[in-house]
């Protein structure tokens, strides 16, 4: 069961032998974006909204691991089993496992509609590897969106999150509740709380973000492609803010993009 009208991202979620339904479109100037920001800041929510505005495909590394974890245990590779243990604690999955998964899906980086990378890169090593991979394929990031929000609001967003077990649509129990309690507006399936949204894992995730992922802000600032966005307000307001900032960004940097 797939939510109506929403691409199933099969090539990303299941791997390169799967075909996306509907197939991705082609854009004259595809947006190739990375979404940075603390866990729970709203990257996934924005990726969903930005997909509707920019057409670029939402590529979330967390979604790939969670989908693999949902398969029967006998179908899970040792690497996936290990990854799920790291995730449950709130720790990062080792770079080698993440990179192997990303390389297998590198065709998605050439998607004609562009992409919204959510949750990758998360360490400097991952950022360097992505840069080299893209340069080798003559692909360049349009920009890196850095979403910012005070810590207490981030924790409130994570603690109240509920996710659809089927189509992965994201809700919040007070800020973005479903029309019917515990049931997805899009496909009717049940909602659940992610294991890593429990208080002990949230603490580890936020510490890990500060230590391993926050340094990427400086990395992309030095490359001159960082666009910082305030993540307060409603998701729609933040999306509007993002699209305006991106259009402005593209206008000011069109020479660089076509270089
Ligand atoms: P991942 O799935 O990437 O999770 P994350 O980065 O921790 O981000 P989240 O999905 O928790 O939050 P989000 O920013 O997308 O917020 P959301 O939109 O859902 O990674 C999970 C784990 O996988 C990692 O911990 C790690 O173990 C592993 N992993 C993945 N990639 C990896 C990598 N590259 N390297 C190593 N390990 C990796 O919103 C949160 C809540 O807020 C929702 O309830 C939403 O409804 C609500 N909300 C959103 N916007 C608003 C708003 N404007 N106002 C009010 N509420 C809002």
Q: pLDDT 10s per residue in the chain (259 long)?
A: 444 467 889 999 999 999 999 888 888 899 999 999 999 999 999 999 999 999 999 999 999 999 988 888 878 888 889 999 999 999 999 999 999 999 999 999 999 999 999 999 999 999 999 999 999 999 999 999 999 999 999 999 999 999 998 888 899 999 999 999 999 999 999 999 998 999 999 999 999 999 999 999 999 999 999 999 999 999 999 999 999 999 999 998 876 665 5
Structure tokens at 62: 């967390």
**Closest ligand 1 atom, residue 231 Cα:** 53
Q: What global pTM score does this model have? A: 0.93
What is the pLDDT at residue 72?
81
CB atoms within 10 A of CB 205: 21
Q: Strands of 135-196 (E only): list them.
A: 143-148, 161-164, 170-172, 191-192
**Cβ(120) to ligand 1 under 6 A?**
yes
- Judge whether 199 and 159 are in contact, CB under 8 Å: yes
**Cβ(205) to ligand 1 under 6 A?**
yes
CA distance 44 to 164: 13
Q: Percent helix, strand, coil in the chain (nearest 5)? A: 50, 15, 35
Q: Describe the crossing of helices 78-89 and 199-208 by its angle, rounded to 10 degrees.
A: 100
- Catalytic residue, chosen from 9, 32, 43, 162, is 43
- Judge whether 107 and 199 are in contact, CB under 8 Å: no
148: left (phi over 0), alpha (psi -120 to 50) or beta: beta
How many residues are there in the chain?
Answer: 259
CA distance 109 to 127: 14
């Amino acid at each position: 069961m797939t939510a109506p009208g929403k691409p199933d991202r099969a090539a990303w979620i299941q791997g390169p032998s799967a075909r996306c339904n509907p197939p991705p479109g082609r854009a004259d100037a595809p947006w190739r974006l990375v979404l940075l920001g603390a866990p729970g800041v709203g990257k996934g929510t924005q990726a969903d909204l930005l997909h509707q505005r920019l057409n670029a495909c939402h590529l979330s590394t967390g979604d790939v691991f969670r989908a693999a974890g949902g398969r029967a245990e006998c179908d899970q590779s040792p690497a996936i089993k290990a990854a799920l243990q790291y995730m449950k604690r709130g720790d990062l999955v080792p770079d080698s496992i993440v990179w192997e998964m990303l390389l297998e899906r590198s065709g998605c980086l050439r998607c004609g509609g562009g992409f919204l990378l959510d949750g990758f890169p998360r360490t400097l090593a991952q950022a360097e590897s992505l840069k080299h991979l893209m340069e080798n394929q003559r692909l360049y990031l349009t920009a890196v969106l850095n979403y910012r929000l005070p810590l207490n609001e981030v924790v409130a967003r994570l603690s109240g999150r509920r996710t659809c077990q089927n189509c992965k649509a994201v809700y919040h129990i007070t800020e973005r509740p479903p029309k019917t309690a515990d049931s997805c507006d899009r496909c009717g399936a049940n909602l659940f709380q992610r294991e890593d949204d429990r208080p002990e894992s949230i603490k580890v995730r936020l510490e890990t973000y500060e230590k391993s992922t926050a340094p990427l802000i400086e990395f992309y600032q030095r490359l001159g492609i960082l666009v910082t966005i305030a993540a307060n307000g409603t998701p729609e307001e933040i999306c509007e803010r993002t699209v305006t900032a991106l259009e402005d960004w593209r206008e000011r940097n069109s020479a660089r993009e076509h270089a």
